[in-house]
Amino acid sequence: MKFLPVASFSLAALLLAAAPLRAADMSSMGQAMDNAMDKGERARTDMHKAMTTQQNAQGEMGKGMGMSMHNPDQLKWGDAPPALPKGAKVAVLDGDPFKPGPYVIRIKMPAGYKVPAHWHSRAENVTVMSGLLFLGMGDKLDQTNAEVLKPGGFHAIGAQVHHYAFTKTGAVIQIHGEGPFDITYINPADNPDPAAKK
């Protein structure tokens, strides 16, 4: 087979270049393509069967499989972990934020809620679902030096970046990232977790 310069490719040139192939070569290429397609289809079918078997064994669609579906009225809200200031509610949408692997959580913050300056050992991705969230960078919560995120707003925060957050009127945010989730306050006295003070 001849190799043609890219600029000279046309359907006619391709047909002429392929003309020296024997019918037997074409037949084996076609058969190889059919076999590859069959293997791909079998792999997809096997994967689907395995997923269905796992779903049935778990009794819940998507649990532990990386697929979950939640409507807002189905979320189960509970108190935020002790490392976050009191008053917030948390719903886990996917994964386990305290184990290695991906997670998605929502946090419902009441009006006046503040998270003092802190950092995380892994990147954090924040999307505002409702309300207004104020975010700032630095070692102290400074309400005069924060940017507002409106519903639909997104903020990516790198690992170990010092930042703070607050809401004046209340907000619901969604956080996703790689677990385990952790929070280290710049000023240890800001950590609301009683276990941290022992």
Specify the amino acid at residue 119. W
Helices (H), the chain: 11-18, 23-58
State residue 46's pLDDT score: 33
Whether 130 contacts 152, CB under 8 Å: no
The model's pLDDT over 140-185, given as tens digits with 9 standing for 90+, comes to 999 999 999 999 999 999 999 999 999 999 999 999 999 999 999 9
d(CA 118, CA 51): 40
Look at residue 73 in the predicted model and tell me its pLDDT: 86
CB 108 within 8 A of CB 99: no
Q: What is the pLDDT of residue 31?
A: 60
The span from the CA of 7 to the CA of 106, in Å, is 54
pTM more than 0.85 = no
Distance CA 28, CA 117 (A): 66
pLDDT at 67: 73
Residue 175 has which token pair? 């956080």
Residue 26 pLDDT exceeds 70: no
pLDDT tens track for 73-101: 889 999 999 999 999 999 999 999 999 99
